[in-house]
A and B are shown apart, each in its own frame.
Chain A
Amino acid sequence: MKNRRFLVGLAGVAAVVSYLMWTGVRDSMVYYMTPAELVARIEAEPAFRDVGVKVSGRVVEGSWQRLPGPEHEFRVADLADPGVVFSVRFDDVVPDTFNDRAEVVLEGKFGPGEVFEARTVLTKCGSRYEAAKEDFAT
């Protein structure tokens, strides 16, 4: 008796939570890609230009331009394959930790043009900032 009620309660809560989780995932999921993955995906499937994605890469040194607005333009390269680079436009205030070597996570889409229109720009979180041993050698 006790077990059955316990299981009914468990099943009920599990069903409701799963339903909410399922719709929550459906409505808020975002692809998280590297620049190389995004470029390859768009070549294979041009409609993917209009899908909002998160892209993580590194800002190309010296590419950061501030336009009046506050608007920013910079180029982002793939972490593993620095040959893959694209331009980014962002028309809001960049985070404090942003600079022209920062590792960034962009959220946005290409749309029709060749410039990635970023809706948000995040830099990698502070507490995990660590220098590699080689960084001290210079």
Chain B
Amino acid sequence: MSDANLTATTRSADLDGKTRDRRAFDRSFGQQWLRKLALPIALVALLAGFALADDRILTSYNLLNIAQQTSYLALFAMAQMVVILTRGFDLSLGPTVSMVSVGAALAMAGMGGGEAGGLVVVTAALAAGLALAVACGLFNGVVVALLGVSPLVATLGSMNIAIGVATTISDGRPVQGVPSAFSQVFYTGSLLGLPIAIVIALVVGVALAFVLSRTVFGRSLYIIGTNPQAAAVAGIPVKRLLVYAYLLCSALAALGALMMTARTGSGEPNLGGTLSLQSIAAAVVGGTSLAGGRGGVATAVLGALFITILSNGMNLTRIDGYVQMIVLGAIVILGVVLDRLRLSAR
């Protein structure tokens, strides 16, 4: 036997055993299904509760309205979910929406508003919006992935920058002159009887679900979120993909921003307002794990639906807007509690 026989400790292996201990707890399918169905059940209960309080809730008009409202938040929640999957965050999402809104409106106004052709106007808006979103996403991605700054501070920084840009280029006032051709494409139009917002959200949702579950990019995002070091050792280009994730997040936010601009009919420097918070709340309540690597389109959309129904119901039952802020805060905390319970149950 050797004198220099130094062994790395096996303590870590032993401690791994403890996590396995906990995981063995609930292999039963029943519990797993219960966890998956918890939110849909809560949704139905919520709807039922509001329906009892006010009979306007369950009208087909209101249901379509809810679906349409949900499509905006769902887009933002999906955007947020993409970066949360990688253990990130995007606090600049709301201000990005504001920035894109005024940027696109200014571009359209610069093109002569309604006088130019519809296609030209929409292209200009798309180009301006996308350019701003790419700039923001690139900043976030580069600062997080290449400079190693925590996503929190990086996006807190870009949040400030986006707010500054949005208010500066708009002079702090709404930008008028959004032509009807633009609204036609992003708000009033419809396809197969469905409002365009719902159609866009559906298309994005299906495409994103495909990307996440079936492509190398999507698979890699989950692996990076689960264990970034292992991903790097396995040759996954972690830094590059992180930049892509932030870019995708900003691009989806920009799409949502164009839709909201079309709805309000002007570029609003405060359009993003509480959207960062709402999108994080939706993603987390839906079951996207802040620890990274867990979540998907379904969790983001369900979360968005939950929050939209809640605020729709509160609006109809005339609950004060300030109370709604309190409820939103409570939901965020509730979401973390649920996330914690889910993780420790594994």
> Do A and B share a complex?
no
